[in-house]
Chains A and B, each alone.
Chain A
Amino acid sequence: MKHLAFAAGLLGASAAFADTPELTVYTYDSFVSDWGPGPAVEKAFEEVCGCDLKLVGAGDGAALLARVKLEGERSDADVVLGLDTNLTAAAKETGLFADHSVSAEFALPVEWNDATFVPYDWGYFAFVHNADAAAPADFKALAASDKKIVIQDPRSSTPGLGLLLWVKAAYGDEAPEIWKGLSDNVVTVTKGWSEAYGMFLEGEADMVLSYTTSPAYHLIAEEDGSKAAAAFNEGHYMQVEVAGKLANADQPELADQFLAFMVSDAFQSIIPTTNWMYPAVTPAAGLPEGFGTLIAPEKSLLLSETEAAEVRDAALGEWLDALSQ
């Protein structure tokens, strides 16, 4: 145990010497990576806050919540950034989060009035395919076609869970039949988004479950217009990513300042080309070029956090039944 004490001592020492306040934000891993929004956000916020912003990555959204639950009231985090509406109900249940005081002109396709969580970006789930191939116009057409798809497992992946709720929101009690129809189109189910997207790029499948914004990455970062997202007539399920302040935050004022900063131009203009999602508040300069070419679903689907929590287990059971045949 000696080295534990040693490490703890070192840490205590470094904290004692720090003269600027430190704001700790827990987020998912891809947010803090060199290619995510983290580095730019940190720079921009530290310019205005006179503080040290410490971004800590912890797996993905679900792992993030698990982490906060494990740490409980003693958590070092002041803000948790990166939950979505499938997790917010469980997050509120912990009683660890405090209400926010942020108001903004949200550009979300749905109305937002959550007292605890502030959205910072959002996107639509969609099947991405090669632009030169025709795409089915809805789930039924997809099921009837011989298109092969790769999807993610809802038990281990956020997009996987999104697809589960998409089908449920669009078809309700009819969802099991839709999954039965799709079962021969599903090449395989992967643990996470990266495996599935990698397999699609290698040509293992005609389509992959991703976001409507995925083609924007290829267009803007690689100048490659060969990918497109298929517009589905049922509408597209949304993912809204949010942040919240912890009730036991060491730096409650800084946390409030960060949440307000989060919906400002400085933060929001970083999001589109680093997180490849739509900003929650459209920046004054508008969206980057290339986002205009994306499909704009006519209908947005989103179960409320309570509905999502209610149907989740049953929907998973139906999914398992249909795909385990």
Chain B
Amino acid sequence: MAGRAQPVSAFPGISAALLVAALILGTLGAVAYRAEAGTGFAASDWAALRFTLTQASLSALLSVGLAIPVARALARRRFPGRSLLIALLGAPFILPVIVAILGLLAVFGRAGWLSQGLIFLGLEPVQIYGLHGVVLAHVFFNLPLATRLILQGWQEIPAERFRLAAQLDAGPLAMWRLLEGPMLRRVAPGALTVVFAICLSSFAVALTLGGGPRATTIELAIYQAFRFDFDLGRAALLSGMQLVLTGAAALVALRVSAGEGFGAGLDRVVRRWDGQSALARGLDGFWIVLSAAFLLLPLAAIVLAGLPGLMGLKGTVWQAAGNSILVATLSTVILLALALPMAAAVAAGRNGLTELSGILGLAASPLVIGTGLFILIYPVADPFALALPVTALVNAVMALPFAMRILVPRAREVLGRYGRLSLSLDMQGWAFVRRVYLPRMRAQTGFAAGLAAALSMGDLGVVALFADPDFATLPLQIYRLMGAYRMEAAAGAALLLLMLSMGAFWILDRGGRWHAEA
């Protein structure tokens, strides 16, 4: 595609990508520059690297591997509560880590529902702590995300292709070879990279579910370098390593992910004629029930724990909730302003680097970004005065990788199919963006915006470093409540956060959905 004339300029997208890269690399550079003589890599850092790679690879493979049958089942079946289930799929990974851990343990822990059930049946309780616990938790966080990304791939196959396949009486194997296989080849590598990158920077989940210091990840080593050793050089070095690993994974994924799309359709409602056998129905039902139980039980635990505390929440918690909504709104706007041009630039076809800078947000350690920003801002302005914009900006950059995975495939399709037509009609630049690009990106934009809003709402991110006493966000307030022994109120506030995030996600995602599927 390279070199072909396009109705949109790649310039805004490349500028946005440069801005993001500058933020991530600039903060890293600021930390490295501020460093005194450091100690470099220790033997323990290599052990941390090994463990990090092992758990992240396993988590990514398992999350995406399981997401394929689940997404397939959700794509083929219509049942009451389907759209609610799909919306709830957004829930796990927007939760603050501490809340999610307690929810998971309420189900899978030593005293959890599962263990109690097993003991009741006269069996051994489950042992959750270990590498398998880490992977289980990461699958809990990322299976829903992977499912949504892959489900979107299915939804982007035009209805006409399924109709044609049905007319030609394509069996399951032919469907796989002609439609599903090629679609997955395009979508799955991206999903793998995103999940891999998320798990790469995991810390509290890995440590707690891993059962102790053998589950030390690079992010924990960064944390140690910061606060135990105050060795900024080592922190920067480790953070750089994280960036390189993620960058490498992203490049591999870009290479592997290939194939032309399915062409444009007429945006008809998708109807499926395949997969009607009893076996296929049974299998799909199995996957939907299994994934729903796996995801919803810990959420149910969080809801149950939060109900008693929800009513008694005090004014400051509501105020913090207001702040969180403000941050989420601002951060969603910033995200769209960055991601939409970047997706167009990538789709216009000459921008591996734009795509790469889109994924780096995941790999950057929040601690390093926060500290770096602090070092950069401190000489010129009061960091507290900038708590809101800085938090919103960093949250947007962290959500950018997800948004890119959602927007890019669709943007490719839009430019591929309508680019030449628009050019021949001399519809270029803003006219093309307004009349063709944005309307046809509506569903994906809504999904990306919903995800960004929800993520930003639940993220503690850098706010802890910039925390103005008068500007606490809800996640910070939850930590404060827990730190003050108010576990019940904290659980209530966590439930409030869950509802707010889900609400934001649902409104934005729904607002953008035009695949009219009841």
Q: Which residues of A contact B (CB under 8 A)?
A: 1, 3-5, 7-8, 10-11, 29-30, 32-36, 38, 54-59, 62-63, 65-67, 69-71, 74, 76, 90, 148, 153-156, 183, 186-191, 193-195, 197-199, 201-205, 214, 217-218, 221, 276, 316, 319-320, 323-325
Residue in B closest to A36 when the chains form the complex, CB atoms:
B484
Say yes or no: B384 contacts A4, CB within 8 Å. no
Q: Which residues of A contact B203 (CB under 8 A)?
A: 191
The answer to whether the Cβ of B487 comes within 8 Å of any Cβ in the partner chain is yes
Q: Which residues of B contact A69 (CB under 8 A)?
A: 230
Q: Which residues of B contact A (CB under 8 A)?
A: 34, 44, 98, 101-102, 105-106, 109-111, 129, 203-204, 207-214, 220, 223-224, 226-228, 230, 314, 316, 371, 374-375, 377-382, 384-386, 389, 464-465, 467, 469, 476-477, 479-487, 490
Q: A201 vs B356: C-alpha distance in the bound complex, in angstroms?
A: 44
Say yes or no: A323 contacts B109, CB within 8 Å. no
Further 10 A-B residue pairs, CB within 8 A, beyond A155-B220, A319-B213: A4-B380, A5-B381, A70-B375, A153-B207, A156-B224, A199-B105, A203-B109, A204-B109, A320-B44, A324-B213
Q: Mind listing 7 A-B residue pairs with CB under 8 Å? A: A4-B377, A33-B480, A59-B465, A66-B226, A191-B207, A195-B98, A198-B482
Closest CB-CB distance, B308 to chain A, in whole Å? 13
Q: Which residues of B contact A36 (CB under 8 A)?
A: 480, 484
Say yes or no: A320 contacts B213, CB within 8 Å. yes
Q: A76 vs B383: C-alpha distance in the bound complex, in angstroms?
A: 11
Question: Contact check: which of B220, B386, B469, B484 meets A55 at CB < 8 Å?
Answer: B469
Q: Which residues of A contact B469 (CB under 8 A)?
A: 32, 38, 54-57
Residue in A closest to B481 when the chains form the complex, CB atoms:
A35
Q: Which residues of B contact A195 (CB under 8 A)?
A: 98, 101-102, 204, 208
Closest CB-CB distance, A16 to chain B, in whole Å? 14
Closest CB-CB distance, A175 to chain B, in whole Å? 15
Q: Which residues of A contact B227 (CB under 8 A)?
A: 62-63, 66, 155-156
Q: Which residues of B contact A153 (CB under 8 A)?
A: 207, 213, 220
Q: Which residues of B contact A62 (CB under 8 A)?
A: 227-228
6 closest Cβ contacts across the A-B interface?
A35-B484, A203-B111, A194-B482, A33-B480, A62-B227, A155-B224
Residue in A closest to B480 when the chains form the complex, CB atoms:
A33
Say yes or no: A7 contacts B381, CB within 8 Å. yes
Say yes or no: B465 contacts A191, CB within 8 Å. no
Question: Contact check: which of B208, B378, B490 meets A70 at CB < 8 Å?
Answer: B378
Q: A190 vs B227: C-alpha distance in the bound complex, in angstroms?
A: 16
Q: Which residues of B contact A319 (CB under 8 A)?
A: 213
Taking A58-B467, A194-B479 as contacts, is the C-beta distance between A324 and B212 under 8 angstroms? yes
Question: Contact check: which of A71, A320, A323 meets B378 at CB < 8 Å?
Answer: A71
Say yes or no: A188 contacts B211, CB within 8 Å. yes
Say yes or no: A29 contacts B208, CB within 8 Å. no
Say yes or no: B102 contacts A202, CB within 8 Å. yes
Closest CB-CB distance, A311 to chain B, in whole Å? 14
Taking A7-B386, A59-B465 as contacts, is the C-beta distance between A188 and B483 under 8 angstroms? no
Taking A155-B228, A194-B479 as contacts, is the C-beta distance between A201 and B487 under 8 angstroms? yes
Say yes or no: A202 contacts B98, CB within 8 Å. no
Say yes or no: B483 contacts A29, CB within 8 Å. yes
Say yes or no: A30 contacts B385, CB within 8 Å. no
Q: Which residues of A contact B480 (CB under 8 A)?
A: 29-30, 33-36
Question: Contact check: which of A30, A70, A183, A320 meets B484 at CB < 8 Å?
Answer: A30
Q: A29 vs B482: C-alpha distance in the bound complex, in angstroms?
A: 12
Q: Which residues of B contact A74 (CB under 8 A)?
A: 378-379
Residue in B closest to A210 when the chains form the complex, CB atoms:
B485
Closest CB-CB distance, B116 to chain A, in whole Å? 10
Taking A36-B484, A156-B227 as contacts, is the C-beta distance between A56 and B384 under 8 angstroms? yes
Say yes or no: A189 contacts B213, CB within 8 Å. yes
